[in-house]
Amino acid sequence: MGTTTRTAWTRLSPQLAGDLVLRHDAVYEQAARLALGQYDHVRPAAVAYCETPEDVRTCLLFAREHGIHATPRSGGHGLAGWSTTEGLVIDLSRIAHVRIGPDSVHVGPGGQAVDAISALAPHGLQIAAGSDASVGLAGYLLGGGNGWQTRAFGLGSDRMVSAQVVLAEGRVLRCDSERHPELFWALRGGGGGNFGVVTDLEIRPNPVPRIVCYDVSWPWEQAVEVVEAWQQWMVHVPDRLASTLVALSLDAGTGEPPQLLVQGGYLGSPEEFERELAGLVAAVGRPPASAVSEDLPYRAAMMRQFGCAGWTTAQSHLVGHNPEASIPRHAFARDRSRMLAAPLTGSAVHEVLEVLEADSPRGFFRALTFRALGGAANIPAPEDTAYVHRDALFHAGYAAGFLSSGSPAETAAAAVSWVHRGFGVIDPHSNGHSYVNFPDPDLPDPHWSYYGSNYPRLCAVQRRYDPERFFRYPQSIGG
């Protein structure tokens, strides 16, 4: 950075309650990191650890004054890497409050899934949170928020009561169904990084003290029957049942058949769940190779889902988040997925499974994942919130990646090529839409894919609340 810019940064630092980290600082490497190592080459000029909405406002005004690109960062899990920049990263990890009121819960954008779950568990309450312990609440909720509670209570964004937002011009406002209702509409599914920086989200909690969590597996040779039966099963089971089907190869190219798993949670008694599971087993026509279910406190069930069973909340964060954090970063990951408005049948099931059997080099995991939607998530009309996918029954797609930062570039290229192959197979069977929380830089028409018929209205909101298009990234609204 030049002398003039360095002087400007020096003036910014004492204006913040939090800390400003510059490239020459000892903690810079950790401050600049996202959850995925593939974006480590992006070198922010500065990272501001904001502690208050006023810190956020100060950073935005500074960036505007000096013509610096700025982007907010909540958990830093965005698959496309758009929560970093060569300019100023507005880090929200210290605005991580969880405050429980009589009818709602206020959460900070820097809170992560495990933080909210742990804070709410003693009260028998929960809000929707991601399937990874360290996923940030802001990006997750602003993009929709799908998980174990979705079919029973609706998306995380459907439970939003209000939001506090800092606009690019420096104004701090609270929006809800009566105050700035168009902005409130847009924040419920419009995705993070648009319109302004959210510093507080008010959510209606769900009564979820316990849940029956389950893991069921079948041998790979039964994959066609399981995929067909599972989809039909999910169309008819009670909304209290959440489920994900995963076909997974931990290392491509080994010759080992993929694992075939059905996982999820049931908001009811173990006896009720066993009756529902019997329906799936009957439809498959073959008993599972393994079936484990347990009625657990919700936090314990989610910690098992996260792969953090027996860990403390502090441990259940990405390494570097705090001294005890123990979750390793992925060096690389790529995902391409679509929404399905109807179950896949016949030859389509064979086609999507054959992608997992295709030859490929070793060194990366491969997964085909179907996440069940429907239920309460499909009750609102597409135009009721910015989240348009109210006809979707499944979110399905392919992912590949690896943990080791020492993997050769050819491994990443092979993983990307495999994901592209899978997307090409599933795309013709989809409704043409994608989930903004799983951004895909290669979509030919991302705005239609993410927002459908709601996109013109989102552009109108963007023109009103960010007329200069300060908030921008490759697929941002209005871009």
Nearest to 200 by CA among 278, 49, 349, 97: 97
Separation of alpha carbons 156 and 357, rounded Å: 35
Q: Is 118 left (phi over 0), alpha (psi -120 to 50) or beta?
A: alpha
Burial level of 459, CB count in 10 A (0-12/13-18/19+)? middle
Separation of alpha carbons 381 and 414, rounded Å: 40
Separation of alpha carbons 60 and 197, rounded Å: 9
DSSP string of 88-114, one letter each residue? EEEE-TT---EEE-SS-EEE-TT-BHH
Q: What are phi and psi of 99, to 5 degrees?
A: -115, 125
Nearest to 79 by CA among 5, 143, 122, 14: 143
DSSP-assigned letter for residue 449: H
CB neighbourhood size of 40 (10 A): 16
User: Residue 358's pLDDT is what?
Assistant: 85
User: Residue 7's pLDDT is what?
Assistant: 79
Judge whether 170 and 57 are in contact, CB under 8 Å: yes
User: Residue 220's pLDDT is what?
Assistant: 97
The alpha-carbon radius of gyration of the chain (Å, integer) is 22
- Residues 6+ away with beta carbon under 8 Å from 59: 12, 16, 48, 50, 70, 88, 90
336: amino acid identity, one letter:
R
User: Residue 2's pLDDT is what?
Assistant: 45
Kindly give the pairing relationship between strand 88-91 and strand 46-49: parallel
Low-confidence ranges of the chain (pLDDT < 70): 1-4
For 84, the 3-state DSSP assignment is: coil
- Residues 6+ away with beta carbon under 8 Å from 198: 72, 109, 138, 142, 163, 164, 165, 187, 192
Our CA dihedral for 316, 321, 326, 327, rounded to 10 degrees, sits at 70
Question: For 20-27, which contacts have Cβ atoms below 8 Å and span 24 or more sequence positions?
Answer: 20/46, 20/47, 20/48, 20/49, 21/46, 21/47, 21/48, 21/49, 22/46
Kindly give the pairing relationship between strand 197-203 and strand 105-107: antiparallel
The count of C-alpha atoms lying within 13 angstroms of the C-alpha of 152, restricted to the half-sphere facing its C-beta, is 20
Residue identified by tokens 């979110």 is 395
DSSP-assigned letter for residue 429: G
User: Alpha helices, DSSP H only, in 33-173?
Assistant: 53-66, 113-120, 137-142, 150-153
